[in-house]
Amino acid sequence: MPEHGLKHWWGTPLTGLAGGYLASLIGWPLPWMVGSLLAIILVRCLTPWQLQEIPGGRKCGQWIVGIAIGLHFTPMVMEQVLAHFWLILAGALLTSASSIISVWLMRKSGEDRATAFFSSMPGGSGEMVNLGARNGAVLSRVAAGQSLRVLTVVLSVPAAFRYLLGEGAPALQAAPVNYYWLALLFPAGAFIAWIWQRLRQPNPWLFGPLLVSASVSIAWDLHISLPEGSSQIAQWLIGSGLGCHFNRAFFRRAPSFIGRTLLGTAMTMLIAGLCAAGLSSMTHLDFRSMTLGMMPGGIAEMSLTAEMLQLSVPLVTALQVMRLLFVLFLAEPLFKYWMRKTSL
């Protein structure tokens, strides 16, 4: 790493650690993610010090989270998830469709169609920026809308769930740590992530390790977990990376756009909660897990929240992954259909 590069990011992990530690002292939910995220945003907004993202830091955090999520999948859990496949499909579709409200709000503020559409879709930031670039969107607005949506969900959902809905039933016994299996899973997950990245697929450093870990866990019926502190490290790395997307100029730029993004995100979250309540009432699935799975946040962030609250991580992950697939495969065709229909 060049010396000038180190000068720009060496303070990032230290600031993130300080923020995570303070958040853990006050008992804030998901403290090492939320604390590091807020600490870095405050430094970047209140001081001239523009901390930069740790090279590969967020990828490393996603790598850890991917392995951890996969270990929650067992044959019994997978049977339960597959038994409710159509419910998961409906939940993901409803969450994706609710983003129409955000598109409408953006259009009311004068945004062009492409920018309004791709900044509002609940997909990955990088993927939506790429789709927006192909369709003439203002990329800075798309990236800002996506980043602000994830920020809003990360800051509000874990706290709301803990203090309003409570935690899930505690596990009877913590799963043991098996270092032999982990010595296999981590390198294999990194290798698949590298291939996934070379193929230009979405979220490679989350999906690659998750696929490896879940496949091995199901095939060998593993009941193991990561060492103590792994979740906190992943939270710290992901939170520190997210925080580097925001600075004073970001919040000063187009306050109307930011306000409508926040309003649209809040309405989407409300619709997700109402839909989750309806779907949960028709089944025996946990309302909290259904709601968290339908939140328009990132897969890694929502899965970490589910793990912290001792909810069904596989159900939350399945809903989040299904929604992402809907958005990735249907967003561009739907946008082009919208453009054709209105041009007639």
Summarize the confidence of residues 275-288 as an average pLDDT: 87
Q: Which of 141, 92, 91 is nearest to 120 (CA)?
A: 141
Q: How many domains does the chain have?
A: 1
What is residue 168's predicted lDDT score, i.e. its pLDDT? 57
Question: How does pLDDT run across 132-164, given as a tens digit for each residue?
Answer: 999 999 988 898 899 999 999 999 998 888 887
What is residue 164's predicted lDDT score, i.e. its pLDDT? 77
Question: Helix 287-294 vs helix 255-281: angle between axes, to the nearest 10 degrees?
Answer: 150
Q: What is the CATH number of the domain that holds 230?
A: 1.20.1530
User: Which is more confident, 93 or 169?
Assistant: 93
Confidence of residue 127 (pLDDT cuts 50, 70, 90): confident
Confidence of residue 166 (pLDDT cuts 50, 70, 90): low
C-alpha 296/C-alpha 289 separation (Å) is 14
Residue 121: other Cβ atoms inside 10 A: 29
What is residue 170's predicted lDDT score, i.e. its pLDDT? 55
Where in the sequence is the domain holding 262, given as residue range(s)? 3-343
pTM of full prediction above 0.85: yes
Question: How does pLDDT run across 201-221, given as a tens digit for each residue?
Answer: 888 999 999 999 999 999 999
Question: How does pLDDT run across 70-125, given as a tens digit for each residue?
Answer: 999 989 888 888 888 898 899 889 888 899 999 999 998 889 999 999 999 998 78
SS in 3 state form for the chain?
A: CCHHHHHHHCHHHHHHHHHHHHHHHCCCCCHHHHHHHHHHHHHHHHCCCCCCCCCCHHHHHHHHHHHHHHCCCCHHHHHHHHHCHHHHHHHHHHHHHCCHHHHHHHHHCCCCHHHHHHHHCCCCHHHHHHHHHHCCCCHHHHHHHHHHHHHHHHHHHHHHHHHHHCCCCCCCCCCCECHHHHHHHHHHHHHHHHHHHHCCCCCHHHHHHHHHHHHHHHHCCCCCECCCCHHHHHHHHHHHHHHCCCCHHHHHCCHHHHHHHHHHHHHHHHHHHHHHHHHHHCCCCCHHHHHHHHCCCCHHHHHHHHHHCCCCHHHHHHHHHHHHHHHHHHHHHHHHHHHHHHHC
